[in-house]
Amino acid sequence: MQARRFIHEQGTRRLAAFEDDLLALLPRLRRFARALARNPADADDLCQVAVEKALLGKASWQPGTRLDSWMYRIMRNSWIDMARHRQRAGQTFVDADAGADIGVDGGAEARIALGEVDAALHALPDEQREAVALVLVEGLAYKEAAAVLDVPMGTLTSRLVRGRQALMARLGEPL
């Protein structure tokens, strides 16, 4: 009986730790969702779907591995599923200009600059935008980002280089 209670208590502690870690990741997940979805409403829906899938599939997560990489992969796969569903349903996406500014606490000039960067990021092709968001915005290592995107390291590097060049050109920065 004590062994069963011990196992139950360990499982309860692990679940609580998983949920706490997931809660701590929410700001980063929302930021990545906005990079993928291009508008706040779709980003919120995507974040909710990814968190729900994580909670339902928490048994498949390996303790000791990076929860953020696991969640980014769930979110990306969920985004692909959502995009396919919308495409089949004949719906269109809202223009990138309809999105709200992210992180608007730096004054008018900062909001304008952030809006320009946001617009430039959203103008990138999906593959480049995903690579840039994971590596430059979220700070994942190349190897981790390649695993999240399920592409070889060389493909990730190529997408990242092209994405950086396109961002710099769009923002009028010298290459």
pLDDT tens by residue, 39-83: 888 899 999 999 999 999 988 888 888 999 999 999 999 998 888
In the block, tokens 């909001």 appear at 111
CATH assignment at residue 62: 1.10.1740.10
Q: Are residues 40 and 58 in the same domain?
A: yes
Q: Are residues 16 and 83 in the same domain?
A: yes
DSSP state of 97: G
Task: Give me the percent of the chain exceeding a pLDDT of 90.
Answer: 33
Look up the domain containing 84 and give its range: 1-100
pLDDT band for position 24 (50/70/90)?
Answer: very high
Q: Are 77 and 34 in contact (CB under 8 A)?
A: no
Domain boundary among 100, 132, 159: 100
Structure tokens at 102: 């992210």
Distant-in-sequence contacts of 106-111, Cβ < 8 A, 24+ apart: none
Domain boundary among 100, 122, 147: 100
Domain boundary among 83, 100, 117: 100
Residue 3: the pLDDT is: 56
pLDDT band for position 108 (50/70/90)?
Answer: low
Residue 32: the pLDDT is: 93
Structure tokens at 132: 């840039």
Q: Are residues 85 and 6 in the same domain?
A: yes
Dihedral sign computed on CA atoms, order 44, 33, 28, 150: positive
